[in-house]
Amino acid sequence: MKILFLGSPLFSKIVLERLILSSHEVVGVVTQPDRPSGRGHKLLPTEIKKFAVERGLPVYQFEKISQNMDAIREIEYDYALTASFGQILPQAFLDYRPCLNVHPSMLPKYRGATPIQTALLNGDTSTGVTIMRTVKAMDAGDIAMQEEAEIYPDDNYETLMVRLAKQGAEMAVKVFDLVESGRAKFIPQDDEKATFVKMISKEDGYLDFNQTAETLVNRVRALASNPGCYFYLGEDKIKVGSAKAAEFALKPFEIAKIKKRFVIGCADGAFEILSCQAPGGKMLRAIDFLNGYSLEGSEVVRA
């Protein structure tokens, strides 16, 4: 089968890597336009564009698919596959050729753009991947294949995302094999059981030490890489890269250095910082951070 692939970040790249090794032909890759990034606002391509160019695949960058249907119709393909594309597909696109999507949750649970982060924020111990038919309604299409996946206690967004992308890639290839042989079956979702995730903002990364250690650790697992987790020591915004619950009895927002360990009191004990970053610095192990940053007289500011 001839596949048109739509995606943007690392999740997409992992799926595409597996797809091009299958018996199916990827005839083109659609991704978001290059975006400005960093202090110099240099235009940078998406992960999937860099990979596709390296593999010699045709790349199409559309700000809006709806405004580029003439270009889409010039591409000869049988099916489209989306994986973390980042645009809502217009009905004209969905009507032109059938489209499947790789979604990292057990639909109808966690419909929307942030299912991996939400699973970690909620402290879930399992999640999964769904291959479904793409329809206009958000993640509401009929399901072609679904598999569960365990969430390990030491998982963060990056480790879980990579594992789910690899799992989803294998599943997508199997579904296309079934479609090609005429054996694919699509099962409707139960909309009454649907739950929806919210978009993540920078403010969601704030660590409120009135919360429990488990809640705070889950927030770091989910959001430390993007948009980032943080709290304030005086006027300094301290970013947290990794953390765990600690056994010390401290009051919320009480800060301490105990046996070279960086701990802050929270609702049910203590939150231990394992790696963090001061303004203008690099992400360091907590012990290295403490060697260069004095906590004497420092106070955790309540936002």
Tens-of-pLDDT digits for all 303 residues of the chain? Answer: 999 999 999 999 999 999 999 999 999 999 999 888 767 778 889 999 999 999 999 999 999 999 999 999 999 999 999 999 988 999 999 999 999 999 999 999 999 999 999 999 999 999 999 999 999 999 999 999 999 999 999 999 999 999 999 999 999 999 999 999 999 999 999 999 999 999 999 999 999 999 999 999 999 999 999 999 999 999 999 999 999 999 999 999 999 999 889 999 999 999 999 999 999 999 999 999 999 998 887 788 876
* Phi–psi pair at 204, nearest 5 degrees: -65, -15
Q: What is the pLDDT of residue 76?
A: 97
C-alpha 86: how far from chain center: 11
Q: What is the pLDDT of residue 298?
A: 75
Q: What is the pLDDT of residue 126?
A: 98
* Phi–psi pair at 29, nearest 5 degrees: -125, 125
The per-residue pLDDT for range 38-88, each reduced to its tens digit, is 677 788 899 999 999 999 999 999 999 999 999 999 999 999 999 999 889
Half-sphere exposure of 208 (CA within 13 A, CB side): 6
Quick check: 12 and 48 in contact, CB under 8 A?
yes
Q: What is the pLDDT of residue 296?
A: 80
Half-sphere exposure of 133 (CA within 13 A, CB side): 16
Nearest one of 147, 153, 11, 152 to 82, comparing CA atoms: 11
Q: What is the rounded CA–CA span in Å between residue 29 and residue 12?
A: 10
Give Cβ neighbours of residue 296 (< 8 Å, ≥ 6 apart): none
